[in-house]
Chains A and B, each alone.
Chain A
């Protein structure tokens, strides 16, 4: 079974992505408030194979101390469990590459190590709220910003080979993906 660990800022749609993948509401989500405060496993059958998605608390919710506490929890988890793919989740409908997101990327790399970027996917959420004709531009800008930033992080230069897969999804318009494929199929595909 393939195991995905979801990482990213609070409110980017990590828990919603889990619900969209399995087609049922298993993870608690909210349009406005923080929900996920602990690391949680979700393993289910899908028509395309068994999948395990691991939800983590999002960063940037409050104080730096809180972020550190969350990162320690995630770190402990990674230490004892096998993770096949690290999924970095980011908002596509965000018009800027914000300092809070840079901080998130920096903290994730510092605490969890550069190895997370060696088997990393990028999932861009809220894609349906970007006009269809701007989708390509928006994703190009966002991928470039994240990529360049990770590349520049602590002597990581020229080592980051990029994301193994980049997906655009939307969890508000349920199970919407660019290309119209179910999310579970995209995750199960090799």
Chain B
């Protein structure tokens, strides 16, 4: 576990290491950047933002992506537009999930939209990845969702959509023979709505992934978890991309199993006057990637300037740094070792 009393020590140590690294030869620039980013993963939070109406399966989607249960995200009836924050460390890397209950539910904000936008801006410094969650089986895009898209664009500017993925849930609720058609049509219509607020060159790039809440396969027989994982990895910010891979590769991809699992924190009891259409899917399923998905992930590494030889050098730097650590950050050193080992494993190094 991440021990708060060691937090300062960790930061100081990493800062001093970063200074030392600046003295390294120029040729190793990319490798150094890689090593720095690995170390920064333990001090910088990874931020997910969830958008979508209440009860559309936002928590199931994020739980499957992280391989762990984030306390009951969205499991209550919002009265006004809120910003909720959930924190979860995965192998010493801190994740923050912001949920926006009420935002897409057509609810009034406390005060007005401007106040809510200010609240979002005050609470959320940056976002690494946005998941826009909406049921595939929805027959219309209604005014509540349109209002949510409008408000979030005003709060973060159009650029927020560059790190976004549209997730269609409840794929099993459409007829299998209509699945492709509905997926295509829902994607087109939703992007058309987003395009009312965001330039086309951004909106048309937003990828869509359909997932199912009762099975790990979509109606066309394709496993969706690897596709969702890969798509998210392609879209996360440059600043958070490596962190996301590092924290999920050992456990979620099963490249270097974790020795422990974190228990979710229980949040305050909220009224529950709704029902679930189905039991949640089991967690802890290993994500299996096919060759194409592995190539897409390697491409993303490449886009960040990390080719296999850079990564190999970077890993060497990281290992040297963490070999000589004091006891205070021993658990971080172990996590880092595990993460870089799984990166090496992934690239066959």
> Number of residues in B with C-beta < 8 Å to the partner?
30
Supplied contacts A32-B189, A93-B137, A98-B106, 6 more A-B pairs, CB within 8 Å: A32-B185, A60-B106, A100-B142, A100-B144, A141-B273, A172-B175
Closest to A33 in B: B189
B143's partner among A93, A100, A137 (CB-CB below 8 A) is A100
What CA separation (Å) do A97 and B181 show in the bound complex?
A: 28
Question: Once bound together, how far apart are the Cα atoms of A55 and B326, in whole Å?
Answer: 74
Instruction: Please give me the residue from chain A that is nearest to B188 by CB atom.
Output: A32
Instruction: Check B142–A99 contact: CB distance below 8 A.
Output: no
**B residues within 8 Å of A by Cβ?**
53-55, 77, 105-107, 137-140, 142-144, 146, 173-175, 178, 181-182, 185-186, 189, 273-278
Contact of A129 among B173, B181, B182, B189 (CB under 8 A): B173
Q: Are A95 and B55 in contact (CB under 8 A)?
A: yes
Inter-chain CA distance A129–B143, complex, in Å, is: 24
- Which chain A residues lie closer than 8 Å to B173 at the CB level? 93, 129
Do A32 and B182 touch (CB < 8 A)?
yes
Please determine whether B274 and A9 come into contact, CB atoms closer than 8 angstroms.
no
**A-B contacts, 21 listed (Cβ < 8 Å):** A11-B142, A31-B182, A31-B185, A32-B139, A32-B182, A32-B186, A32-B189, A58-B140, A61-B142, A95-B277, A96-B55, A96-B274, A97-B274, A99-B105, A100-B143, A126-B137, A129-B137, A129-B173, A131-B277, A134-B277, A138-B275
Contact of A134 with B275 at beta-carbon distance under 8 Å, contacts A32-B189, A93-B173 already known: yes
Interface contact A141-B144, CB-CB below 8 Å: no
B174 proximity list for chain A (CB < 8 A) = 31, 172
Does any Cβ of B come within 8 Å of A34's Cβ? yes
Determine the distance from Cα of A137 to Cα of B274 in the docked complex, in whole angstroms.
10
The reply to whether A11 and B139 contact each other, CB–CB distance below 8 Å, is: yes
Docked Cα-Cα span, A34 to B186, in Å, equals 12
Q: Does A10 contact B (CB under 8 A)?
A: yes
Q: Tell whether A116 is near chain B: CB-to-CB under 8 Å.
A: no
Contacts of B140 in A (CB 8 A): 10-11, 32-34, 58, 60-61
Taking CB atoms, residues of chain A closer than 8 Å to B77 are 96
Contacts of B53 in A (CB 8 A): 96, 98
